[in-house]
Structure 1
Amino acid sequence: MTDGVDDIIGWRWLDARLARRARRQAGAELAPSRLRRAATAVVAVVVQVGAFAVLLCGAWLCTVRFPSAALLPGAVLLLFGVLTLPRPQALPRHAVTVRRADAVALHALVDRTAAALNVPAPHIIAMDDRFAADSGFAGLLRRRYLRIGVPLWAVLDPAQRTALVALELARFSGDPSRTALTGTVERTLATMVTIFEPAADKRLHASREDDVTSMMAANPQRIGQQHAQSYTNLVGDLVRPLMALLQGAFGLVRLGYLTLLQPDAFRAVVAADARAAAVAGTPQVRSVLATRLLAESMVTVLRRDARAGDRSGAVPRDEPQAVVAGWPVLAAEVLATAAPSMPARCEADVTRHASPFAVTPPLGRRLEMLTDAPPPLPADGWADPQESAETDVELRPMYRRLVRDLRNG
C-alpha cells in the first residue's frame, strides 16, 4: 500500500523495478542518445501542433455560418485547445524576489558562480520558506530564475552555499526537460491528466449529492427542480466515461513521452552535479545533497533550537540573526550523526521517490553518483566567508520571519 505517500507507486515489485530503472538511467553513460532526443522532439512537436490545430478548428467551427449547430462542438474544441496549449512555468506567489539593490552580496555570489560554470546568470533570484532549492525558466519570456529556501540557506556554511548555488546553476546547461519545446509539453500533459483526474470528479459528485439533499430537506414540494437536477446528474453520468477515457489517453501519452525524456534528463542532472563539484568541491556538493536528503531531521532540530531559551543570557535569543548563526553547527552535527546510516538512507530515498513520471533522479541516487575524489579547485578558498556573512545581513528580515514561524509552527 502507499500509506498516503504520493511518490510511492504502490506495489513492492513495481517500486523495486522503478528503483533499479532510476539507478540504471542515472548511472548510464553521459553521452545522450540522438535518436531518443529526436523522437522526444518529434512527440513534443506533434503535441504542440495538435493543440494549435484543435484551437484553430474550434475557432473555425464557431465562426462558420454563425450561428449554427457547429457552435457547440466548436466551443468544446476551443476549450480543449486552450487547455492543451504550451504552459510556461510560473514562479509561486509566495516566493519573494530579491532585488540586486537589496542583496548585493547574494547577487555577487550568484554571478561569480555562474561565470565559473560558464552559464548565464539568472534574471531572478527568489527566496521562499522551503527547505529546498531549484532553478529553471519562468513566464512567457522564459526568464531564468534561482529559488532558494531560507531555512536551507541558513544551515549552510559559506562553502556549502557556493555549492548549493553551483548545483542549481549548472542545470541551465544541457537539460532537455527545461527546453522551450520539451519542457512545456511535459507540463501540458501533466495538467491535462490532473484536469480529468477521477478524484476531482468524485469531489464534484459528492457536492452534487449534498446540494440535492439540502434542497429536498428545505422544500419537499419543489419536485420540479429535483427532476431538473436529476437530468443534469444524468448528463454528468454520461460525460464521466468520456472524461475517464481522455484522462487515460493523456496519461498514456505522458507516460510514453517521459519514457523517452527521462533517461536524457537524468543524465543531464548527474552531469550538472559533476560540473558543480568541479567548481565548488565534491565534499561540499555531497554535504549539500545530504543536507537536503535529511530535510525532516534538519527542520526538527531547527524548530527545537528556535523555541529553546538561553538561560545564561549570553546569546540574545530575541535577535533572529543570533539564533540563525548557530544553525550551521547544528546541521553539521546532524550530518555527522547520520553519516553511518547514509548509504541506507540513500537506498530508501531511491526506492521511495523512483517514479516513471520524474524528470529528476532521486537525491539519494545523485548522492551515490558523486565520488569522494578530491575537488579540482580549492573550494574552501574560493568561497568568501565575509560575503556569506553579508548575505546573512541582507536576509535578516527573512530570518526574523523564519524564526517566528518555527517558534509558532
Structure 2
Amino acid sequence: MIITKAGTGACPACGAETVSIHEALPWCTRCEWNLDGYDRARQAPEFGWAWVDRRTHRLAARLTRQQFAALRDRPLEPPGLGPAAVLTAVASLLLTVGVLALAVVGGWLLFAYPFPNFAVVFGLAFIGLAVALRPRFGRVDPDLEVLSREQAPELHALVEEVATAIGAPVPHVIGVDDTLNAYATSVGLRRRRVLALGLPLWGALGGQERVALLGHELGHFVNGDVRRSLVTQPALTMLGNAADLFRSAPGTRGGGLLEMVGEALGRMLSWVLSRLLFAGHLLLVVTALRDSQRAEYLADEMSARVAGTAGASRALDVLLSQDSVTLVVRQGARGGHGPATWRAGVARSLDAAAERLPLVRQLSIREETSLFSSHPPTGLRHRMLSGRPWQEPRVVLTESRAERIDAELARHYKRVSRTISWSA
C-alpha cells in the first residue's frame, strides 16, 4: 500500500507543498526539488561509505538528467560507433591481446629451456592465468526452457511479426523461465540471439503490454547496445574476472615469523592489484552503461512503435509496480488460477493506483538512478514516451490470440505456479 504524505513542508525552490510516499525523503512534485538527493534509508549502498555513495548518486543523477534532456527533443536512432563503443572496443582488443600474449609467453617458457627448470613453473602459471582470464561470451541459461516452433507456433509467429514491424532480426532461441523479468541477449562467438520471457511477467501483461515487451526486448538486437556486441564483451568481463582472481584469500593460522611476513606482503600485493583491476573494470562498465541507457530509450521507442504509446507506457507501469504484480501473481497461483486471473488482478491493481502512479514514477527517478544501472529510471522512460509524438499500434494482440499462446504454455504455467506458490 502506498501512503502519501502531503504537507511535509514548503519547497524552498518554488514554494509548492512537498510530498512523500513510502517514507521517502520529501520532494516537490512541481519543480522536482530534492528528487536528485540521496536517500540513505531507502537506497542500497554501492561503495559502503555514505559520503562516497552520496556523491556518486548525485553524479549519476546529473548525468542521467543531462542524457534525458539531450534526447528528449531529438529523434531516437541507433548511435552508431560512439565514443563509449570505441573506448570499450579498444579496451577489449588490448585485453584480448594481453591474454594471448600471456598464453604465448607461457608456452614459450615451457619449451625454451632444458627440463627441469623454474621456467616451466612460470610457463604453467602464465598459461593458467590466460585460461582464467579468457574472454567469456556467454551461453544459453540452463534454467531457460527453450520452446521450439512446434511447441509454441503462435508465440513464434507473434515474435516474428513484432520483429518485422520494428526491423529487428528474429531470435534463434525463444524460451521461458519462472522470473518476473524478460531479457534479450546474444551468446557465444556466433552471437546467437536469445529471447527469454519470465512467465509470471508475461502472464500478468495484457495484450498490448505483451507486444510492447516483445518490441522492447527485440529492439535490443538493433539499438546499438554495447553490452551485446562481440567486440565489447571482453572489456565488460575480463577486468572484473581478473579482480576476483587476485582477491586475497583469508590468511592461515600458525607458522613462523618469516611465513607471516611473506603472507602479509602477498596479501597486500593481491589487495592492491585486485583494487586496481576492479577500478579499471568500474571505469569501463560506467562508460558502457551510459551508452546502454541511451539504448534503453531507443528500445522503448521501438516498443511504442509496435504496440502503441498507450501499450508501451502501460507496460512500464507494470514493471514499476513489481511488488503489486508479484503479490497478485502469487495469490492467483496459490488459488489455482492461471494467467487470465493474473492479468485481471494486475489491471485492477493499476487502475486503483492510477492517481498515485505519477508520484511513484517521480520517486523512481531518485531510487533507480545509479552509475551502475543499465536502465534509466522508469519514471524518465515513461516521461520520454509521453513527451514524444503519439503512436498507434502496428501489431494488435487480440484476447483470443493471447489465449491460444497461453494454451501453448499451459504446462509451463503449471510448473511456474507451483514454484510461485511455495515461494516466500
TM-score by length of 1: 0.82
Say which SS state the counterpart of residue 370 (structure 1) adopts: helix
The Cα offsets for residues 211-263 of structure 1, whole Å up to 9 and x where unpaired, read as xxxxxxxxxxxxxxx659x9877655442222212221212222332343233
Could you tell me which residue of structure 2 aligns to residue 55 of structure 1? 103
2: CA distance, partners of 1:62 / 1:257: 34
CA RMSD of aligned residues (A): 2.8
Q: Judging changes above 3 Å, is the alpha-carbon distance between structure 1 residues 246 and 281 closer, same or farther for their aligned structure 2 residues?
A: same
- 1:10-409 pair list within 5 angstroms: 10=50, 11-29=53-71, 30=76, 32=79, 34-65=82-113, 66-173=115-222, 174-197=224-247, 201=249, 204-205=250-251, 227=255, 236-308=263-335, 317=336, 320=337, 323-371=338-386, 375-378=390-393, 382-409=396-423
Tell me how far 1:156 sits from its aligned partner: 0.9
1:5 aligns with 2:44: yes
- Structure 1 SS opposite 2:374: coil
Identical columns (%): 29
| Structure 2 CA distance for aligned equivalents of residues 292 and 143 of structure 1 | 27
Q: Is the Cα–Cα contact under 8 Å of residues 281 and 374 in structure 1 kept in the other structure? A: no
Contact 1:255 1:356 in 2 (8 A): no
Unaligned runs of 5+ in 1: 210-225, 309-316
Cα offset, 1:163, TM superposition: 0.9
> Structure 1 CA distance, aligned partners of 2:87 and 2:418?
51
Which of 334-343 and 126-135 deviates more? 334-343
Taking a change above 3 Å as real, the CA distance of residues 362 and 138 of structure 1, as seen in their structure-2 partners, is: farther
- Greater CA drift, 286-295 or 15-24: 15-24
Q: Please, which moves more after superposition, 335-344 or 175-184?
A: 335-344
1:336 and 1:372 mapped to 2: Cα distance? 22
Kept in 1, the 8 Å contact 2:43–2:367? The answer is no
Q: Is there any run of 5+ residues in structure 2 with no aligned partner, and where? A: 1-39
**1: CA distance, partners of 2:180 / 2:162:** 21
In proportion to residue count, which structure has more helix? 1
Measured in 1, the distance between the counterparts of 2:56 and 2:234 equals 28
2:309–2:392 CA contact under 8 A, matched in 1: no
CA contact (8 A) 2:171 2:192 kept: yes
- In 2: Cα distance, 1:7 partner to 1:129 partner: 28
SS of match in other structure, 2:386:
coil
Contact 2:174 2:196 in 1 (8 A): yes
Tell me which amino acid in the other structure corresponds to 1:247: S
Give yes or no for contact 2:332–2:341 (8 Å, CA) kept in 1.
no
Shift of 1:389: 1.1
Cα deviation, 1:111-132, whole Å, max 9, x if unaligned, reads: 1111111111000011111101
How far does residue 374 in structure 1 lie from its aligned partner after superposition? 6.2
How many Å apart are 1:179 and its aligned residue? 0.8
Cα distance in 1, alignment partners of residues 397 and 315 from structure 2: 14
* TM-score, reference length from structure 2: 0.79
Structure 2 Cα separation of the partners of residues 142 and 284 of structure 1: 30
Question: 1:193 touches 1:247 (CA, 8 Å); kept in 2?
Answer: yes
Contact 2:57–2:371 under 8 Å retained in 1: no
Tell me, yes or no, if the aligned pair for 1:8 and 1:355 is still in contact at 8 Å: no
Question: Aligned-pair distance for 1:26?
Answer: 4.4
Higher RCO, 1 vs 2 (CA within 8 Å, ≥6 residues apart): 1
Change (3 A) 1:239 1:368: farther
In the TM superposition, residue 167 of structure 1 has moved relative to its aligned partner by 0.7
CA pair 57-25 structure 1, distance change in 2 beyond 3 A: farther
Cα distance, 1:177 vs. partner? 2.0
CA deviation string 1:165-196 (max 9, x = no partner): 11100111122221101134202233333444
Moved more, 139-148 or 238-247: 238-247
Structure-2 change in CA distance of 1:3 and 1:265 (3 Å): closer
Query: How far apart in 1 are the matches of 2:185 and 2:377?
Result: 18
Question: For residues 126 and 372 of structure 1, do their structure 2 counterparts lie closer, same or farther at Cα, with a shift above 3 Å needed?
Answer: same
Query: For 1:339, what is the secondary structure of its paired residue?
Result: coil
CA contact (8 A) 1:54 1:77 kept: yes
